[in-house]
């Protein structure tokens, strides 16, 4: 049995998440990945915004910072620049990171700041009661899209790649073995890394959309996900409505803290 108690603040339990929520699955995967890279708890800062996933910092024994809606990455930027030795992780949701916090998300990726952002994508605003988010698929219902959403949804991973992230991976709450691996790689990668995780929200996404229980959602992820390597051989038609999982981007780009340090050294020499 993995020693989760090493990392959890059990005194803060019970947690606020619903039965069948994906938040716990992802949290456990994060802890396993942290254990594998042997980081000290003192050297980890976990930063979040507002939403269901953003309640995670309260339950884990790191330096934890629960900020304002959408701004986690901006807080994390100051923390990381002021103390580059800290391993700074950001936990966010689809609404927090790509609606209200979209600007910070793309600019941190553009700067290639050495932080890891983990986005729990459940296609809905769970904390506030099931309103449509930027990743609610067309036709799917939310409390503010009672006739089904008519807005195209964001491709979160695609956005990060286009903005300049060094490392981008997508997994689902079914594919936890892969998720462990992607998180570990993301944590180790110098530069901005994004791990997008599709997560079930049985309360506010599955129920109004008649998608069944959390287990049904996990089964749906299993049956509709295709590895990125296979996806590259498929036509757009064949990939339609499929979840493409895997390491979508892994490249070397200058990292912001290091570039700043180099600039400062150059100035002080001259």
Position 264 contacts other proteins (CB under 8 A): yes
Position 71 contacts other proteins (CB under 8 A): yes
Residue 56 CB, nearest approach to other proteins (Å): 11
Q: Which is nearer to other proteins, 54 or 206 (CB)?
A: 54
Number of shown-chain residues binding other proteins (CB under 8 A): 38
> Distance between CA atoms of 141 and 56, rounded to whole angstroms?
26
Position 254 contacts other proteins (CB under 8 A): no
Q: Which stretch binds other proteins (CB under 8 A): 20-28, 71-79, 126-134, 192-200?
A: 71-79
Q: Which is nearer to other proteins, 58 or 208 (CB)?
A: 58
Residue 154 CB, nearest approach to other proteins (Å): 18
Position 251 contacts other proteins (CB under 8 A): no
Q: What are phi and psi of 217, to 5 degrees?
A: -65, -45
| Encoded tokens for 182 | 């992607």
- Encoded one letter per residue, x for contact with other proteins by CB under 8 A and - for no contact, window 27-66 reads --------------xxx-x-x---------xx--xxxxxx
Q: Which stretch binds other proteins (CB under 8 A): 30-38, 123-131, 168-176, 256-264?
A: 256-264
Q: Report the 3 state secondary structure along the chain.
A: CCCHHHCECHHHCCCCCCCCCCHHHHHHHHHHHHHHHCCCHHHEEEEECCCCHHHHHHHECCEEEECCCCCHHHHHHHHHHHCCCCEEEEEEEHHHHHHHCHHHHHHHHHHCCCCEEEEEECCEECCCCCEECCCCCCCCCECCECCCCCCCCCCHHHHHHHHCCCEEEEEECCCHHHHHHHHHHHHHCCCCEEEEEECCCHHHHHCCCCCCCHHHHHHHHHHHEEEHHHHCCCCHHHHCCCEEEEEEEECCCCCHHHHHHHHHHHHHHC
Position 6 contacts other proteins (CB under 8 A): no
Q: Which stretch binds other proteins (CB under 8 A): 68-76, 126-134, 151-159, 222-230?
A: 68-76
CA angle 210, 239, 136 (to 5 degrees): 40
194 within 8 A of 165, measured Cβ to Cβ:
yes
Position 79 contacts other proteins (CB under 8 A): yes
Residue among 17, 75, 167, 221 that touches other proteins (CB under 8 A): 75
214-243 residues in contact with other proteins (CB under 8 A) are none
Distances (CA, A) of 55 to 47, 70, 118: 10, 13, 13
Position 78 contacts other proteins (CB under 8 A): yes
Q: Which is nearer to other proteins, 111 or 185 (CB)?
A: 111
Residue among 28, 32, 39, 68 that touches other proteins (CB under 8 A): 68
Residues forming the site for other proteins (CB under 8 A): 12, 41-43, 45, 47, 57-58, 61-68, 70-71, 74-83, 85-86, 103-104, 107, 260, 263-264, 267-268
């Amino acid at each position: 049995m993995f020693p989760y108690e090493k990392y959890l603040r059990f005194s803060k339990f019970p947690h606020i998440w619903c039965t069948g929520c994906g938040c716990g699955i992802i949290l456990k995967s994060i802890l396993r990945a942290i254990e594998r890279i042997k980081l000290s708890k003192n050297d980890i800062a976990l930063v979040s915004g507002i939403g269901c996933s953003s309640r995670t910092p309260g339950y884990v024994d790191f330096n934890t910072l629960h900020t304002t809606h959408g701004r986690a990455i901006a807080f994390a930027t100051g923390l990381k620049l002021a103390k580059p030795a800290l391993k700074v992780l950001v936990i966010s949701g689809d609404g927090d990171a790509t609606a209200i916090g979209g600007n910070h998300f793309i600019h941190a990726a553009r700067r290639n700041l050495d932080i890891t952002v983990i986005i729990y994508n459940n296609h809905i605003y769970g904390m506030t009661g099931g309103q449509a988010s930027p990743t609610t698929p067309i036709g799917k219902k939310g409390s503010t899209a009672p006739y089904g959403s008519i807005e195209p949804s964001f491709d979160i991973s695609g956005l990060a790649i286009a903005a300049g992230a060094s490392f981008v991976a997508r997994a689902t709450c079914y594919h936890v073995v892969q998720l462990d691996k992607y998180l570990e790689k993301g944590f180790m990668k110098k530069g901005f890394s994004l791990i997008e995780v599709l997560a079930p929200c049985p309360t506010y996404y599955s129920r109004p959309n008649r998608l069944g229980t959390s287990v049904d959602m996990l089964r749906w992820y299993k049956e509709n996900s295709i590895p990125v390597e296979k996806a590259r051989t498929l036509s757009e038609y064949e990939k339609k409505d499929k979840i493409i999982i895997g390491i979508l981007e892994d490249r070397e780009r200058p990292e912001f803290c290091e570039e700043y340090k180099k600039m400062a050294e150059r100035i002080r020499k001259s």
